[in-house]
């Protein structure tokens, strides 16, 4: 069982009485993250690469951090970790760099379920003569069907861009199976894991992805992002840094202006939290870090499944409500990002009524514009989205349900 009191004590903002249920837009920050951020700024706020003591110490701290991030993702080496200001920016950098290797008539496949961060950078390559195909969601099942992808793949496909979990539907896509099909076609796969990483362990080697990105500010940290890239693929890319930064200088050639030192160092607070979560619930440190992560995320998934079940059971009981995504709480099929529309009320009206109760939820398209258009939900002002994480409580969910009952009665 999740010790929810222990969990909530790790997040200072949760002590102020507000109910945070817009977590897919940005989660609350761990106290350990703040402590590491402060430590770096107070003790190591210097430029790297100098010979003096504090600069050398700062360099060691950041090397250790990126090494631990690579462990978190199960990358094969620390050089496979690219730090950037946002997932949107990292993917834009990737698209500009990798497309230099492509020629007119080459093809990219994007989905109509993704956040625009993993769509627009690829769509914009049409100006260079790159053909872009769209892998469309099945409007009945609300799934990306693998059979539809197979029809789109060709000898000219260079890359498939797909989300691990939709930030509207909450659906978990079978990335390992998708990657196998993409590789069979001789192409690369680029995965947006922003809506997945707060809820499940990311193991890039198990998934066999070529590129994988997510934002730390949605995984209990600061406004910063990370991209994993297979080392051999990163080596092939043209750099976007200064002309004297060599092609073999991975990942620096893809980090123009360098990365944010203090925010990067603060990521240690997230990694340490997962270790402490394991230790608190299972005791000791007798297992390796990978197993600790697996156990911690299993605990998170089981707890979140219960939270989602409470809300989904209620929403399913209201005839006027249509859930946009999997209508059942199953940790293997969805994350607790739950969207819906009401037949008789606009999405913005519902959310504005909830606002008065100090509960933060949201309405709109969440930059998954093509999905909202495909499902013809624009006239509803998008969907109502309730995005839970493991620091939410059953009491909070019941409070929201009580508010919904008063609105829908």
Quote the pLDDT of residue 287: 85
Q: SS3 for the chain, per residue?
A: CCCHHHHHHCCHHHHHCCEECECCCCCCCCHHHHHHHHHHHHHCCCCCCCCCHHHHHHHHHHHHHHHHHHHHHCCCCHHHEEEECCHHHHHHHHHHHHHHHCCCCCEEEEECCCCHHHCHHHHHHHHHCCEEEEECCCCCCCCCCHHHHHHHCCCCEEEEEEECECCCCCEECCHHHHHHHHHHCCCEEEEECCCCCCCCCCCHHHHCCCEEEEEHHHCCCCCCEEEEECHHHHHHCCCCCCCCCCCCCCCHHHCCCCCCHHHHHHCHHHHHHHHHHHHHHHCCCCCCHHHHHHHHHHHHHHHHHHHHHHHHHHHHCCCCEEECCCCCCCCCCECCEEEEEECCECHHHHHHHHHCCCEECEEECCCCHHHHHHCCCHHHCCEEEEECCCCCCHHHHHHHHHHHHHHHC
Quote the pLDDT of residue 284: 76
Quote the pLDDT of residue 286: 74
Quote the pLDDT of residue 94: 98
pLDDT along the chain (409 residues), means of 10: 97 96 98 98 96 97 97 98 97 97 97 97 97 96 97 98 98 98 98 98 98 98 98 96 93 95 98 97 86 96 98 98 97 98 97 98 97 96 98 98 96
Q: Can you give the residue ranges of every domain in the chain?
A: 4-28+288-403, 33-270
Domain 33-270: CATH architecture, name and number where available: 3-Layer(aba) Sandwich (3.40)
Quote the pLDDT of residue 304: 98
Taking only the tens place, the pLDDT of each residue in 275-305 is 999 999 999 777 899 999 999 999 999 999 9
Its CATH class, for the domain covering 4-28+288-403, is: alpha beta
Quote the pLDDT of residue 238: 93
């Amino acid at each position: 069982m999740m010790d929810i009191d222990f969990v909530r004590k790790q997040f200072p903002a949760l002590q102020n009485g507000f109910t945070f249920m817009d977590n897919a837009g940005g989660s609350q920050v761990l106290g350990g993250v703040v402590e590491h951020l402060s430590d770096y700024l107070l003790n190591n706020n210097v430029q790297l690469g100098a010979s003096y003591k504090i600069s050398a110490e700062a360099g060691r701290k950041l090397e250790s951090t990126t090494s631990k991030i690579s462990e978190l993702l199960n990358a094969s080496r620390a050089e496979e970790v690219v730090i950037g200001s946002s997932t949107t920016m990292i993917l834009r950098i990737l698209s500009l760099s990798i497309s230099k290797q492509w020629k007119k008539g080459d093809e990219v496949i994007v989905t109509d379920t993704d956040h625009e961060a993993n769509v627009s950078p690829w769509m914009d390559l049409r100006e260079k003569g790159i053909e872009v195909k769209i892998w469309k969601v099945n409007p009945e099942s609300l799934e990306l069907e693998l059979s539809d992808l197979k029809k789109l793949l060709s000898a000219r496909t260079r890359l498939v861009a797909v989300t691990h979990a939709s930030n509207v539907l909450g659906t978990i896509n079978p990335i390992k199976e998708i990657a196998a099909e993409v590789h069979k076609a001789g192409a690369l796969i680029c995965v947006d894991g922003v809506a997945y990483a707060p809820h499940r362990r990311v193991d890039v080697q198990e998934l066999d992805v070529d590129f994988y990105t997510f934002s730390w500010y949605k995984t209990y940290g600061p406004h910063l992002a990370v991209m994993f890239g297979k080392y051999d693929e990163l080596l092939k890319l043209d750099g976007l840094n200064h002309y004297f930064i060599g092609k073999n200088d991975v990942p620096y050639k893809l980090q123009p202006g360098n990365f944010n030192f203090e925010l990067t160092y603060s990521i240690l607070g997230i990694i340490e939290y997962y270790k402490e979560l394991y230790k608190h619930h299972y005791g000791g440190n007798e297992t390796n870090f990978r197993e600790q992560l697996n156990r911690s995320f299993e605990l998170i998934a089981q707890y979140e499944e219960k939270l989602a079940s409470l809300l989904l059971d209620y929403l399913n009981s209201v005839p006027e409500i249509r859930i946009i995504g999997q209508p059942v709480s199953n940790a293997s099929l969805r994350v607790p990002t739950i969207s819906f529309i009401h037949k008789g009320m606009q999405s913005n009206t519902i959310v504005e009524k909830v606002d008065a109760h100090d509960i933060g939820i949201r309405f709109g398209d969440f930059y998954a514009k093509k999905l909202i258009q495909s499902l013809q939900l624009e006239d509803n002002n998008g969907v109502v989205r309730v995005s839970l994480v493991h620091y939410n409580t059953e009491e909070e969910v019941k409070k929201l349900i009580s508010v919904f009952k008063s609105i829908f009665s």
